[in-house]
Amino acid sequence: MHEWALAEGVVATAIKVAEREGLREITEIRVKIGELQQTDMEVFEFALKEIVRPQTALLKRAQFIFEPEPAVLKCRVCGTEWAFKDALKKLDEEQSESIHFLPETAHVYVRCPNCHSPDFEVTKGRGVWLESITGEK
Ligand SMILES: [Zn+2]
Protein backbone atom coordinates (compact mmCIF):
# COMPACT_ATOMS: atom_id res chain seq x y z
CA MET A 1 0.00 0.00 0.00
CA HIS A 2 3.05 2.18 0.43
CA GLU A 3 3.22 2.60 -3.38
CA TRP A 4 -0.38 3.85 -3.55
CA ALA A 5 0.22 6.44 -0.85
CA LEU A 6 3.34 7.62 -2.69
CA ALA A 7 1.51 7.81 -6.00
CA GLU A 8 -1.34 9.76 -4.41
CA GLY A 9 1.15 12.15 -2.89
CA VAL A 10 2.92 12.72 -6.21
CA VAL A 11 -0.33 13.34 -8.11
CA ALA A 12 -1.80 15.56 -5.37
CA THR A 13 1.36 17.67 -5.33
CA ALA A 14 1.42 17.88 -9.13
CA ILE A 15 -2.18 19.13 -9.13
CA LYS A 16 -1.41 21.68 -6.43
CA VAL A 17 1.60 23.02 -8.36
CA ALA A 18 -0.45 23.15 -11.58
CA GLU A 19 -3.16 25.17 -9.83
CA ARG A 20 -0.63 27.54 -8.32
CA GLU A 21 1.01 28.12 -11.71
CA GLY A 22 -2.31 28.38 -13.52
CA LEU A 23 -1.73 25.39 -15.82
CA ARG A 24 -4.66 24.08 -17.84
CA GLU A 25 -2.91 20.85 -18.59
CA ILE A 26 0.07 18.96 -17.25
CA THR A 27 2.15 17.34 -19.98
CA GLU A 28 5.06 15.98 -18.01
CA ILE A 29 5.58 14.89 -14.42
CA ARG A 30 9.13 14.18 -13.32
CA VAL A 31 9.54 11.89 -10.37
CA LYS A 32 12.83 11.27 -8.61
CA ILE A 33 13.41 7.73 -7.50
CA GLY A 34 16.03 7.44 -4.80
CA GLU A 35 18.48 4.57 -5.01
CA LEU A 36 17.67 3.66 -1.42
CA GLN A 37 13.93 3.57 -1.63
CA GLN A 38 11.86 0.49 -1.12
CA THR A 39 9.22 0.98 -3.76
CA ASP A 40 7.90 -1.64 -6.12
CA MET A 41 8.09 0.37 -9.35
CA GLU A 42 5.55 -1.79 -11.16
CA VAL A 43 2.96 -1.22 -8.45
CA PHE A 44 3.90 2.45 -8.24
CA GLU A 45 3.43 3.04 -11.99
CA PHE A 46 0.15 1.14 -11.96
CA ALA A 47 -1.05 3.22 -9.01
CA LEU A 48 -0.08 6.45 -10.79
CA LYS A 49 -2.08 5.49 -13.88
CA GLU A 50 -5.11 4.52 -11.82
CA ILE A 51 -5.02 7.71 -9.77
CA VAL A 52 -4.53 9.90 -12.83
CA ARG A 53 -7.38 8.28 -14.78
CA PRO A 54 -10.30 10.30 -13.29
CA GLN A 55 -8.32 13.56 -13.59
CA THR A 56 -9.06 13.81 -17.29
CA ALA A 57 -8.82 17.52 -18.03
CA LEU A 58 -5.62 18.29 -16.19
CA LEU A 59 -3.72 15.03 -16.55
CA LYS A 60 -5.02 13.38 -19.69
CA ARG A 61 -1.76 13.77 -21.62
CA ALA A 62 0.61 13.70 -18.67
CA GLN A 63 3.71 11.58 -19.16
CA PHE A 64 5.58 10.31 -16.14
CA ILE A 65 9.35 10.48 -16.29
CA PHE A 66 11.29 8.62 -13.62
CA GLU A 67 14.74 9.86 -12.76
CA PRO A 68 16.97 7.78 -10.57
CA GLU A 69 18.85 9.62 -7.85
CA PRO A 70 22.06 8.00 -6.63
CA ALA A 71 22.34 7.68 -2.87
CA VAL A 72 24.96 9.74 -1.06
CA LEU A 73 26.12 9.01 2.47
CA LYS A 74 27.66 11.50 4.86
CA CYS A 75 29.74 10.66 7.91
CA ARG A 76 28.46 12.33 11.09
CA VAL A 77 31.91 12.20 12.65
CA CYS A 78 34.24 13.65 10.00
CA GLY A 79 31.81 14.97 7.38
CA THR A 80 33.12 12.85 4.50
CA GLU A 81 30.57 12.23 1.77
CA TRP A 82 30.66 9.19 -0.47
CA ALA A 83 28.49 7.44 -3.02
CA PHE A 84 26.44 4.53 -1.85
CA LYS A 85 27.43 2.54 -4.93
CA ASP A 86 31.10 2.81 -3.93
CA ALA A 87 30.21 1.42 -0.52
CA LEU A 88 28.38 -1.47 -2.18
CA LYS A 89 31.47 -2.49 -4.15
CA LYS A 90 33.12 -3.50 -0.90
CA LEU A 91 30.27 -5.77 0.16
CA ASP A 92 29.32 -9.25 -0.88
CA GLU A 93 26.08 -9.96 -2.68
CA GLU A 94 24.11 -10.98 0.38
CA GLN A 95 25.06 -7.84 2.26
CA SER A 96 24.24 -5.47 -0.57
CA GLU A 97 20.91 -7.20 -1.12
CA SER A 98 20.01 -6.85 2.51
CA ILE A 99 20.72 -3.10 2.33
CA HIS A 100 18.63 -2.76 -0.77
CA PHE A 101 15.60 -4.20 0.96
CA LEU A 102 16.24 -2.63 4.33
CA PRO A 103 18.44 0.49 4.07
CA GLU A 104 18.75 0.66 7.86
CA THR A 105 21.06 -2.35 7.73
CA ALA A 106 23.59 -0.21 5.86
CA HIS A 107 24.87 0.84 9.27
CA VAL A 108 25.80 -2.75 10.04
CA TYR A 109 27.96 -3.17 6.93
CA VAL A 110 29.03 0.24 5.71
CA ARG A 111 31.80 2.32 7.27
CA CYS A 112 33.06 5.82 6.53
CA PRO A 113 35.93 5.46 4.03
CA ASN A 114 37.88 8.14 5.90
CA CYS A 115 37.47 7.47 9.65
CA HIS A 116 35.68 4.07 9.55
CA SER A 117 32.78 5.29 11.67
CA PRO A 118 29.43 3.51 11.20
CA ASP A 119 27.70 6.76 12.17
CA PHE A 120 26.53 8.27 8.90
CA GLU A 121 23.36 9.61 7.37
CA VAL A 122 21.83 9.24 3.94
CA THR A 123 21.81 12.77 2.47
CA LYS A 124 20.55 11.88 -1.02
CA GLY A 125 18.73 9.06 -2.71
CA ARG A 126 16.05 8.25 -0.17
CA GLY A 127 12.41 8.13 -1.06
CA VAL A 128 10.33 9.01 -4.06
CA TRP A 129 9.10 12.52 -4.75
CA LEU A 130 7.81 14.91 -7.35
CA GLU A 131 10.72 16.73 -8.96
CA SER A 132 8.91 19.04 -11.37
CA ILE A 133 5.99 19.34 -13.73
CA THR A 134 5.64 20.82 -17.18
CA GLY A 135 2.36 21.99 -18.60
CA GLU A 136 0.39 24.38 -20.71
CA LYS A 137 -1.46 27.48 -19.60
ZN1 LIG B 1 34.17 9.71 8.86
Q: pLDDT digit string (tens) for 85-121?
A: 888 888 888 887 777 767 677 777 889 999 999 999 9
- C-alpha 120 to ligand 1 mean position (Å): 8
Q: How far apart are CA 116 and CA 74, in angstroms?
A: 12
Q: Cα of 44 to ligand 1 centre, how many Å?
A: 36
| pTM attached to this predicted model | 0.78
Longest distance between any two alpha carbons in the chain, whole Å: 55
CA of 18 to the centre of ligand 1 (A): 42
Distance 29 CA to ligand 1 centre (A): 37
**CA distances to 6, 21, 67, 75, 81 from 11, in Å:** 9, 15, 16, 34, 32
pLDDT at 64 over 70: yes
Q: What is the mean pLDDT of residues 29-56?
A: 88
Distance from Cα 70 to the centre of ligand 1, integer Å: 20
Measured distance CA(30)–CA(129) in Å, rounded:
9
